[in-house]
Every structure is written in structure tokens, then in C-alpha cells.
Amino acid sequence: MGFFNKITSRMPSLKAILLAILSAILLILAFPDFELWFLAWFALIPLFAALNSQKDSSFASAAVAWIFGTVFYFGTCWWLTFAPITYAGFPALLAYFLLFCATAFVGLYSALFAAVFSLLLRRFGSQGILFAPFLWTAIEFLRLWTSGNFWNSIGYSQAFSPFLVYASFGGVFLVGFFVVLMNAWVFWHLRKLIEKGTDFSLIHPNKLVDTVKNIDFKLSNFTDPKSGFFVIYETIYTVIPFFFFLGLTLFISDYLVKAPLPFENSANANVVAVQPNVPMSGLNRSKWRSLRERQARLAETALAKPNFLGVARRQAKIDALPEDLEKRTRFYEELALESFKNDQTTVILPESPMNFQYAEDPEFRAFIKDFASRNSVSVLFNSAEPDARREYGYFNSAVLVNEAGEKVIQYDKIYLLPFGEFVPLPEPLAQFVPTMVGRFSPGEEYDLLPFGDAKAGIMICFESHFPSLAREYVRGGADVLIEMTNDGYLGNTSVLRQHLASATFRAVETNRPVIRVTNVGITAY
């Protein structure tokens, strides 16, 4: 009984738990599909309040933050249950239980943040709150380093907001740092005001007009927490950094939008991105051939009607454009047709359940060669390519063939999806754990593919989640990044926009365009 009483005495209060859950819900709403991104800038305030109330116990603080992390990751990653329920036949209860186990594990990183944070609060008092953004960012680095994953890192909440621009300077980690900094600043300031006994009722909507009318500008009211002037001044002082930050963001955004890309005037290539919507199950050889032919038809239809918007952007400096809209449209179409004749065109097929095997399927090789030579295009496609290092081993690869139908180069996926494409456990234990897609060998080379006049770095599905991969490509000379992905296994869920958020950040971080080609999901540029 003594041990039980000791444990229960260290548990967090109900109020602290509810505050943590409130923070998690607010942060969930900041992410896709809700995308109320502005909530992220204030969502952590209830969590900080909860941690401050439990600061005397690192255990209680960690428990509060673990609840926060578990609820947040469960609420933003619920789509992980779609594939087990739909394709593996798992009972829904089992699928959600397994999801809870996974999110409870990831929640331990939040618990670690809180345990250290409570020590800082005890050591430095209210000033310790300002350590929060540094500690939060360090924990996110730790999560990526130890688990190989930091899906829905807090910075990703800003993928479709003006604040995305700061990824140009420090990536998703810097954006997340600023988000946590704003939360910490507001909470730190509010806590000081509460400790002074500030009368917040003076700015209640029902009293605000009277408060403004009765403001007394005496010098003493600068420090009187019961005066209307003090309350209004301190409230404005609390939130004004956010609006200053927003203004600075818009200014920087305008500057970066006008800045030319490093290869804008030198590297041209035409692209046809094919989104075939191949079903995730029920494929036999007959359906496989039919779907393959359909992808070829989709590509040929696009080749016959080139999009002229890209050409229009390249020709924006032409002085003598026709004034009439119809004539201008026709002018751009002619430019596009001329561009398709003069520049190399690449057809990109996405990652899909088609499971092409270029090296081991002579019939498929003949099909691709005929398509490429007949249409005078290069073709980039996903393929399972043999790994000569081990028997029955395969890479998840991207293969490029040229206009003559000859293989040019292949890229082997480096960052494989845990439990989807490999099992992150030692042998022989890994042999007893099934994978969702297959067992692949990891690639080792950051191969760049020739892409018209440019060089392209390839990201296959999950790889768009890794800033280090995109940066390595750019260091190697990549002019463009291409993501080939298949989100179909996860259904029409919030993962589609969450995955797009990763590609969006990679584009801004590297100052390189990203061409995103999906089987099911959001194809984008």
C-alpha cells in the first residue's frame, strides 16, 4: 500500500491532464486536414500551464506531456489504421490498439521534453519557460535521430501558411522553433501578469469600451495591475510580437518570390506526370496489362496537349505579347509546342502496386522501349530491381530510360519505410514480423538523374520526409527534386495533405522545385 500511495501521490492533477489534452486537440486542428495553422502559435500555452503547475515533480510533468503526445499523434496519425483494416483484415479494435501502442511510444519523446523542462523551471523559475523552444527542437532532432522519423513535427503545421518562408533559412526545425518560441513568450508574459494580480476582467468584451473610455494616463498606471491602461498595454505587448513576425514574414516572402531560382534561365525540361489511380488490391495479370496500357494512353494524351503555363513563365520578359487574350493564349500554345519539339520530355510514372520489374521482365522492357521510342520521350518509373548482394534481394528503385528505350540510370531507395518495406529488428527476429509492402534492401548512392538540361534527385514516397536527403541531392548539384509516391494504401485521409506538406518543405528548404507524382493522392509542382 505504501508503494501504491507513493505512486499515486506523484500522479498529475486532473486539471493538468485536461490542459494537456486541450493543447493536443488545438495542435491537431493546426495540421491537415483541418489546417487551422494559426492555432499552432498558441496551442502549447495550456500544456505549458499544466507543466508549470506540476514542475515540482518531473514524473508528473512527464506523465502530463506523455498524455499530450499520445493524444496528438493518435489524432494526427489515425490513418495508419486504414491499411490494416482494409487490406489485412484486422479488426478495427485491434488496429486502433496497435496505433495506440505506437503513439504511446512516440509520446515518450514529449515526456522526455517535460521531464527536462521541469528541471529548468525549478532551477530558473519563470525564466526557464524561455528554454522551451531550444529544448523542444533538440527533442525533435533526437526523435529523428533515434527513430528515423519525425512525422508531424510541429513545424509541419505551417506548411500551408506564410511562415513556411522561414524554412529557407533553417528548414522545418527553425519553423517549429519559432512556433514554440511564440507559445513560450505568450505564456511567460501571461504568467507574469497573473502573478501581479492583473484584473483581466477589464478587457472582457462587455467592459472593454468602458475601460478604454476611463483610461487614466497617470505614470503610476503603467505599473498598476488594476488599471485599464496597464491591462490594455500589457495585452497588446503580449501579442504584438506575433503581428510583427507576420509582417516580417510577408516582407521576406515577397522578396523570395521575386528572387530567381539558381537554374531558372539555363535548365529546361518538359514533364508529363501520370496519376493512374491504380487500385491497391485485386490485380491479376490481365488487369495489370490493362492498367499498364491505360498509363501509356494517359501519357500520350498529355503529350498531345502540352501545358503552356511553364513556357509562358519562361517567356514573361517578351515585350511584344498580343494584347488580345485569345491571341495571347494561342501564342503561348505555339511556344509550348515548339518547346516540346526542342526540349527533352520525360514521362514520370509514380510508385504504385504495379510492381514493375524492369531487369527481370523482358516483356515489360519491350513495352517501355516501344513507348519511349514511339513518343521520343524519356520515361522514369518505379521498379523492383534485384540486389546482387543477397539472394532474392530487391531494391525499391526509380529507373530512367531514354528516348531510344535504353536504361540510363537507376536510383535505389535509401530511406525505407519501417514495417512497410523492412523490419527494423535484428535477424532472425525480423523474419517473423510481416511487412505491408515487401522486404527491400536499402540503397546507398545519392544518384542524380539527367532530366533535360537539369539534374534531378529522386525521393520515393516516405523519403520526402527527410530534409537530409534533399539537401544531399542539392549539394551534389540537383536542379530539381522528383517525388514518386503512392498514398493509396492509406486511403482518402489526412495523410494525403500531410505527405504533401513534407514535399512543400523540401522545396522551400532547398530552393528547388519539387515535382510530386502520385498514384493516388495529390500530384503537384
Over the stretch 377-431, which tens digit does the pLDDT of each residue have? 999 999 999 988 877 789 999 999 999 989 999 999 999 887 777 666 666 665 6
Instruction: Please state, in angstroms and rounded to a whole number, the distance separating the CA atoms of residues 518 and 107.
Output: 30
pLDDT score of 365 more than 90: yes
DSSP H helical ranges for 376-494: 467-475
Least confident of 38-42, 118-122, 312-316: 312-316
Instruction: Please state, in angstroms and rounded to a whole number, the distance separating the CA atoms of residues 137 and 85.
Output: 34
pLDDT score of 263 more than 70: no
Query: What is the model's pLDDT at position 318?
Result: 46
Which is more confident, 508 or 452? 508
Least confident of 26-30, 164-168, 233-237, 334-338: 334-338
Mean pLDDT for the chain overall: 83
HSE, CB side, 13 Å, CA atoms: give it for residue 152.
30
C-alpha cell at 358: 524492369
pLDDT score of 472 more than 90: yes
Query: What is the model's pLDDT at position 319?
Result: 47
> Band of the pLDDT at 152, cuts 50, 70, 90?
very high
pLDDT score of 134 more than 80: yes
Least confident of 44-48, 131-135, 240-244, 444-448: 240-244
> Band of the pLDDT at 262, cuts 50, 70, 90?
low
Least confident of 122-136, 196-210, 287-301: 196-210
To the nearest 10 degrees (0 to 180), the angle between helices 58-76 and 14-30 is 30
Query: What is the model's pLDDT at position 388?
Result: 83
Query: What is the model's pLDDT at position 316?
Result: 44
At 259, give phi and psi (nearest 5°).
Answer: -70, 135
| Mean pLDDT along residues 322-341 | 59
Query: What is the model's pLDDT at position 240?
Result: 73
To the nearest 10 degrees (0 to 180), the angle between helices 14-30 and 45-53 is 160
**Residue range 21-36, pLDDT digits in tens:** 999 999 999 999 899 9
| Mean pLDDT along residues 291-312 | 76
For strands 394-401 and 407-412, give the pairing: antiparallel
pLDDT score of 212 more than 80: no
HSE, CB side, 13 Å, CA atoms: give it for residue 337.
8
C-alpha cell at 496: 494525403
pLDDT score of 497 more than 70: yes
Query: What is the model's pLDDT at position 421?
Result: 72
pLDDT score of 183 more than 90: yes
> Band of the pLDDT at 286, cuts 50, 70, 90?
confident
pLDDT score of 315 more than 50: no
pLDDT score of 75 more than 80: yes
pLDDT score of 5 more than 60: no
How are strands ordered across the β-sheet holding 480-485?
448-451, 454-460, 480-485, 514-518
| Mean pLDDT along residues 167-176 | 93
Query: What is the model's pLDDT at position 417?
Result: 82
pLDDT score of 463 more than 80: yes
Residues in Cβ contact with 488 at an 8 Å cutoff, skipping those fewer than 6 apart: 277, 278, 279, 280, 352, 353, 519, 520, 521
Instruction: Please state, in angstroms and rounded to a whole number, the distance separating the CA atoms of residues 260 and 119.
Output: 47
Looking up cell 516572402 gives: 253
CATH topology of domain 270-305+344-518: Nitrilase/N-carbamoyl-D-aminoacid amidohydrolase (3.60.110)
Every domain of the chain and the residues it spans: 2-195, 270-305+344-518
**Residue range 106-123, pLDDT digits in tens:** 999 999 999 999 999 999
pLDDT score of 258 more than 80: no
